Structure 1
Amino acid sequence: MRRTASETKAVILAAARDRFAAEGYEKATIRAIAADADIDPSMVMRYFGNKEALFGAAAEFDLELPDLTGVPVDQLGTALAAHFVKRWERDGALLILLRVGVTNEAVAERMRTIFAQQLGPVAAQATGNSPDTAQRAGLVSSQVLGMALCRYVLAFPPLANMTADEVVDWIGPTLQRYLTSPRV
């Protein structure tokens, strides 16, 4: 069965996401990804050029942050917590970045950029663009990324065994405090 170029690219990206998530950046190979996609390794190189470019495409993601303008200010933390838990559970690309970002500086920088560009405006909206918006967004990121690392990557039993609603109930108030509470 012949695939179109866009179908071939999508199959390669899906295989790359799975392989990077399972093995990390260093251990994943172009040959293994090509085998998973049932294509010749030269096709991976044709579409992506090299492993770094393939990883960049596989790890491209949108936090898909919701429009929170209609959410009451005192519920922003819970709304964000619920969104992030659903997002982490739905998309392996985020886990790829998290796993690889702790050992690869280029990936870590990519994560910093994504969170700053996408979460920054949400934090600015919540804080009324206060002078400490960047710090507040950074604290929200630390909570969300720490939760994801412990729940989805390290699978700490207490956190990994909690329901999504329980996680939201626990971290929502912390995110709320980071976004709206006055600094002490």
Structure 2
Amino acid sequence: MSAVSTPPVTPTPVRRDAEATKAAILKAARHLLARHAHADITLKAVADRAGVSPPLILKYFGNKDTLFARVMSFETDAAALLAAPVEELGPHMVRHVLLSQTQHGADPLLRIVFAPLHGEQGDILRANFRYQVTDLLTARLSGPDAGLRAELAVAALLGLGVMYGIARGTEVRASTVEALVERYAPAVQAYLTP
């Protein structure tokens, strides 16, 4: 009887999808930024939440400041939030806020609510929000009081995001996205239409 020897199995290193990993890191940083002061958040905490190592965060983002500069930017979120003609923007924005929370676990706007926690970083967050969200929406609106109407529309979206994602209103969360769009979007659209 001869013994058959088999070579040892060498595990294949797990290859990460770079974009998925970056997205997980950004999502983890957003989550922590919504719950803790910027100064209290460590790269290790972000890494632990994202399921990666701190050196991987450094590889993709360079340092904590660069990572949080991305987290504090609303540019990509605003592009998606405002990606509809003005005549259809209210329903689009309401649907986008709700789907972002239900499907991606992140609200495109809510991190602005936590700006007071972040000292000087909060000032950056507020400035980015103003320039990248409300000013961009204002520029798309016609008619009188466009700036005021843009801010009121965004305020309505923030209220919905808070009730859905932070307060976790039982009735709101029990409704379907489309039922909420049908009820809530006309109020948002009313601010967008002169």
Is TM (by shorter chain) over 0.5?
Answer: yes
| Alignment root-mean-square deviation, CA | 3.2
Q: Verify: 1:114 aligned to 2:132, yes or no.
A: yes
Judging changes above 3 Å, is the alpha-carbon distance between structure 1 residues 162 and 66 closer, same or farther for their aligned structure 2 residues? same
In the other structure, the counterpart of 1:132 is: 145
**Match for residue 101 of structure 1 among 74, 96, 115:** 115
Query: 46-55 vs 155-164, which deviates more?
Result: 46-55
In the other structure, the counterpart of 1:14 is: 24
Question: Take 2:112 and 2:174, find their aligned partners in 1: how far apart are those partners?
Answer: 20
Gaps of 5+ in 1: none
**Match for residue 62 of structure 1 among 45, 69, 77:** 77
Q: What letter is aligned with 1:108? A: R
**Match for residue 35 of structure 2 among 18, 24, 30:** 24
Aligned residue for 1:120, secondary structure, equals: helix
Judging changes above 3 Å, is the alpha-carbon distance between structure 1 residues 174 and 147 closer, same or farther for their aligned structure 2 residues? same
Structure 1 residue ranges (4+ consecutive) displaced by more than 6 angstroms after TM superposition: none
Q: Percent identity?
A: 21
Pairing of 1:1-184 with structure 2 (within 5 A): 1=13, 7=18, 11-21=21-31, 24-26=35-37, 27-35=40-48, 36-39=50-53, 41-60=54-73, 61-63=76-78, 64=80, 65-68=82-85, 73=87, 76-91=89-104, 92=106, 94=108, 97-98=111-112, 100-101=114-115, 103-104=117-118, 105=122, 106-122=124-140, 124=141, 129-180=142-193
Gaps of 5+ in 2: 1-12
Deviation string, structure 1 residues 119-159 (Cα, Å, up to 9, x no partner): 2344x1xxxx2231111111100000110011112212222
* Contact in 1 for aligned 2:25/2:57 (Cα 8 Å): no
TM normalised by structure 2 equals: 0.67
Which protein is bigger by CA-based radius of gyration? Answer: 2
